[in-house]
Structure 1
Amino acid sequence: MTAVPHAVPTSPDALEAVLEALRPWLGDRLSTSAAVREQHGRDESYHDPMPPDAVAFATSTDEVAAIVRTCAAHRVPIIPFGTGTSLEGHIAAVRGGICIDLSRMNAIVEVRPEDMDCTVQAGVTRKQLNEYLRDTGLFFPIDPGADASIGGMAATRASGTNAVRYGTMREAVLALTVVTADGRVVRTARRARKSAAGYDLTRLFVGSEGTLGVITEVTLRLHGIPECILSAVCPFPTLTAAVDTVIQTIQSAVPMARIEFLDANQMRAVNAYSGTNYALAPTLFLEFHGTEAFAREQVEMVQAIAAENGGHEFAWADTLEERNRLWQARHNAYYASLALKPGSKGFSSDVCVPISRLADCVEATAADCAASSVLTAIVGHVGDGNFHVLFMVDPDNADEIAEARALNDRIVERALSMEGTCTGEHGIGYGKMAFLEAEHGPEGLAIMRAVKQALDPDDIMNPGKIVHR
């Protein structure tokens, strides 16, 4: 069901007019180099690269607005680019056009410890921000694994390992500065923690994947660094035992910071890639935040639940260095899986279901994977019902890709039948466009198209993503 957009080239005359207008003031920050273009048309997935016609490296909101106005005047497409770590073809230039690279917009504008918030330019990465915050006693908790840009994370409504405790980018973003399709600069909200003033423009642009505007600044909610952080790994005799432990933990209202599931195949990949020696069994990676007494209380509760399900051997990471190594091994799971099959590309599912249906969904999915000839691994942020099957596919093997797509279709259909979603955090791009109507219905999809038409009537903002026009 994956919808591959038909590539429509940009008008050569329109493109040349835009390049002639941009060259005098961008200089060497406007590149038509084949290598630079190729880099900006490829994400981390199996999707074919679709390079833009040129890449403009912006350094300010005013520059982004000027680039957008120039492109809009000639109806030349615009593709925002952060770090290129997306997985659903978000940065593919399906109609050519100008890629606006925001990586040089990497200033931390202001940190306000007394309000526990900050404002950053879109090109700031999550690791850069947390390094800067280290001495303030605050941290930014959204952790998708990759060192993604904050603007890209807002655009894709990213989440990750801490979402079960701290939420996703939907909860983390207080306000945005956005350049719209006609080059206007809009501030979507003030810094107040709540507001009932009109339409929620911030949430409209969070998750819009560059199809409604270019995010240039983000104001974020921050959190205090916990007094005590405890991390552990616990293997289980069966997949069902591990998932049941997750469900019972969440239903018992234990405020877990992280609770991640990795199947046996994923653990084999992690050991080989990261030099660890974990049991080759369905495994939970866990983390507890709070005061020392409260964190210990959480540990005791989860250990009791795990023991009832056959999970007895908690391996603790007692130092910061050990915790970092544990979570880095988890974050490397994607690349570790690809290393099991050299030369392969990642095709990742991304379903999320209500927690009560998690065991049913994961077990049925595992059975599908066991019956497939495609190499797979399962990993997930299961505390909020979100998990991924990574298919390691040969990009030149059409039969293998077709089998992976068919299996992914079954996974999505199963999740939707359980009142779940086709994407918990990766977004739609063009890779999941075919599932939107099944999830939202024709009426919901029609409203999305109406929003796109209203804000981007010429369809120049990252065209070919989310909804067809």
Structure 2
Amino acid sequence: MTVAQYCSSTMPTTLAIASSSVPSVCHDTSTANLLAARAEFVALIGSERTTEDPEICTSHSGSKFSVAAPSHKASIVLYPETTEEVSSILKICWTRSIPVTPYSGGTGLAGSLAATRGGVCVDLSNMTKIWNLHESDMDVTVQPGVGWMDLNAKLEGKGLFFPPDPAPAARIGGMIAMGCSGTNAYRYGTMKDWVISLTVVLADGTIVKTRNRPRKSSAGYDLTHLIVGSEGTLGIVTEAVLKLTPRPQNSHVAILPFSDTYLAIETAITIMSSGEVFDAVEFVDHHSLGAVNGSGLFPEKWEEVPTLFLKFSGARQATEAHTELIKEWAKKNGCHNIRITSDLKQGQAWWDVRKLMGKALVTVMKPGDIFFGSDAAVPRSRLADIIVESQKATENVGLFCSTLGHIGDGNVHVVFFCPGEKRALGEKLIEDIQRMALRMEGTITGEHGIGLSLRDMLIEEVGHAGVDMMRKVKLALDPKCILNCDKVIRMEA
């Protein structure tokens, strides 16, 4: 197949499509083409929602937590407000072969924001409508620019809530794109469990509704979950029908400090294997709590030891039983400073230490430091191993390391900071930790996605055949590779 064929609508016909057999991607980001496209964008959405401001273009390509190369930025940022506007924008980009990078809350950590081919960034932050709340059906329709915290604030008086709770600034569009998780994942699952239906705009501007509103459907391929976790490479989500659930009542928070990581994880596994229902099971290590104490962000001083953060809720009789079980299990493993509260204000203050840990960790960074983070997930029986081994690997080379995570679903975040001149060391350590997870029958990413930074290691997890299958899906839906090109998989050798 020639490059010319590839750049037209001709589709590959071979069964296997390895990266080495895919011709170069053909985009047109010439000044003349972009200027002509800009005129069309302004005619469509107005000059006030079309910008070429260099600072805005740069800020839309990454952050200190997701670094992009200086050349990896869009030339134009657009702010659509409707599905039809997104469709029209993509039709223009498709016709002109201009690459497109979708943008939601900008909180991604795997390089998915980097506009590696330049072109256009489609910022969905103006798409913030919430409508069609069906209280009896417990579902709601939202646009992708809605923040999950804003959605829950809207639902507060209805006795309902939307469980996925990633970073506070995350928005629904990015949460769907990454298939995100959060502290509630142990009881409620991840983002994929809370999406009923999507409205998606494909690369050529085609608008697709993936299914209707019932909780179950066997009508054809599961298009909804094909899009969830696809990182904006297969289509841009413009509407989502989301499941809701009753808001927890009589919520309790428990803090269990241990002298040893293995004892903390052993207690967590006992809790998770008990058959009792808990809302969240989280782990925070001694370095993380040291950062909390040193940050000045929280009034309370914390014991700097491996600590479990638990949430549970329900009828009074059930929560009283949970309280006694927690005390029994924790004391068996040497935890005696057990704290449990049903006071909403106190419980929120304790939980904020876990939810806002990122802000505390940033205070440890020195000028010139580079952020490195892993979000591997492993079987529960290997949780303590990956935590301890990750700490050893970083501490052996003199680096600060924080380990924490949603251990209820086996997801561990390893965070460390590396001086700029030692970037290569940091990159090697991250690879070592990812491969450690694979040796433990785990995954290289539990919730942050593959993006730009993990695409080569994806082969080690799913094999060449798995990556080739993903490539065929990508080529079927986006043969010009204009949507978030270079993310998840390489389209070229």
Q: Distance in 2 between matches of 1:41 and 1:272?
A: 31
1:159 equivalenced with 2:163 (yes/no): no
Map of 1:187 onto structure 2: 209
User: CA separation of 1:44/1:301 partners in 2, compared to 1, >3 Å: closer, same or farther?
Assistant: farther
Map of 1:80 onto structure 2: 102
**Is the Cα contact below 8 Å between 1:14 and 1:75 reproduced in 2?**
no
Map of 1:363 onto structure 2: 388
Which amino acid is 2:123 matched to? Answer: D
Map of 2:11 onto structure 1: none
Residue 455 of structure 1 and its aligned partner are, at CA, apart by 0.3
Where 1:346 maps in the other structure, the secondary structure is strand
- Aligned counterpart for 1:288 among listed residues 302, 309, 312: 312
**Is the Cα contact below 8 Å between 2:456 and 2:489 reproduced in 1?**
no
Q: What does residue range 438-449 of structure 1 map to in structure 2 within 5 Å?
A: 438-449=460-471
Q: Distance in 2 between matches of 1:461 and 1:17?
A: 20
**Is the Cα contact below 8 Å between 1:374 and 1:404 reproduced in 2?**
no
Q: Distance in 2 between matches of 1:192 and 1:173?
A: 11
- Aligned counterpart for 2:328 among listed residues 304, 313, 318: 304
Which amino acid is 1:255 matched to? Answer: V
Q: What does residue range 281-430 of structure 1 map to in structure 2 within 5 Å?
A: 281-343=305-367, 344-394=369-419, 397-399=420-422, 401-430=423-452
1:36 equivalenced with 2:56 (yes/no): yes
Map of 2:278 onto structure 1: 256
- Aligned counterpart for 2:32 among listed residues 13, 21, 36: 13
Q: Distance in 2 between matches of 1:293 and 1:157?
A: 35
CA deviation vs aligned residue, 1:349-368 (integer Å, no higher than 9, x gap): 01001112222222222222
- Aligned counterpart for 2:67 among listed residues 44, 47, 55: 47
Where 1:290 maps in the other structure, the secondary structure is coil
Q: Distance in 2 between matches of 1:453 and 1:99?
A: 21
1:176 equivalenced with 2:232 (yes/no): no
**Is the Cα contact below 8 Å between 1:256 and 1:287 reproduced in 2?**
yes
Which amino acid is 1:348 matched to? Answer: G
CA deviation vs aligned residue, 1:286-320 (integer Å, no higher than 9, x gap): 11022222122223222221111111222234422
Q: What does residue range 20-169 of structure 1 map to in structure 2 within 5 Å?
A: 20-26=39-45, 27-43=47-63, 45-48=65-68, 50-169=72-191
Q: Distance in 2 between matches of 1:146 and 1:87?
A: 14
Which segments of 5 or more consecutive residues in structure 2 lack a partner in the other structure? 1-24
**Is the Cα contact below 8 Å between 2:144 and 2:173 reproduced in 1?**
yes
**Is the Cα contact below 8 Å between 1:235 and 1:281 reproduced in 2?**
yes
Q: Distance in 2 between matches of 1:250 and 1:40?
A: 40
Which amino acid is 1:184 matched to? Answer: T
Which amino acid is 1:368 matched to? Answer: A
- Count of residue pairs the alignment pairs up: 460
Q: Distance in 1 between matches of 2:90 and 2:124?
A: 13
Residue 16 of structure 1 and its aligned partner are, at CA, apart by 1.9
CA deviation vs aligned residue, 1:158-197 (integer Å, no higher than 9, x gap): 0010000000001011111100001011111111111111
Supply the RMSD in Å over aligned alpha carbons. Answer: 1.6
Which amino acid is 2:209 matched to? Answer: R
Residue 335 of structure 1 and its aligned partner are, at CA, apart by 2.3
Say which is worse superposed, 441-450 or 365-374, in terms of deviation: 365-374
1:202 equivalenced with 2:224 (yes/no): yes
Where 1:359 maps in the other structure, the secondary structure is helix
Residue 44 of structure 1 and its aligned partner are, at CA, apart by 5.1
**Is the Cα contact below 8 Å between 2:197 and 2:209 reproduced in 1?**
yes
Residue 207 of structure 1 and its aligned partner are, at CA, apart by 0.3
Residue 333 of structure 1 and its aligned partner are, at CA, apart by 1.2
| TM-score normalized by the length of structure 1 | 0.95
Sequence identity, in percent? 38
**Is the Cα contact below 8 Å between 1:43 and 1:89 reproduced in 2?**
no
Which segments of 5 or more consecutive residues in structure 1 lack a partner in the other structure? 1-5
Q: Distance in 1 between matches of 2:166 and 2:315?
A: 25
Which amino acid is 1:301 matched to? Answer: L
CA deviation vs aligned residue, 1:424-462 (integer Å, no higher than 9, x gap): 000011011121100001111100000000000000001
Map of 1:3 onto structure 2: none
After TM superposition, what 4+ stretches of structure 1 lie above 3 angstroms from structure 2? 342-345
Q: Distance in 2 between matches of 1:319 and 1:386?
A: 28
Residue 62 of structure 1 and its aligned partner are, at CA, apart by 0.6
**Is the Cα contact below 8 Å between 2:44 and 2:85 reproduced in 1?**
no
| TM-score normalized by the length of structure 2 | 0.90
CA deviation vs aligned residue, 1:20-79 (integer Å, no higher than 9, x gap): 211123221000011211111113515235321110001111111011111111010111
Which amino acid is 2:404 matched to? Answer: V
User: CA separation of 1:43/1:190 partners in 2, compared to 1, >3 Å: closer, same or farther?
Assistant: farther
Q: Distance in 2 between matches of 1:179 and 1:44?
A: 30
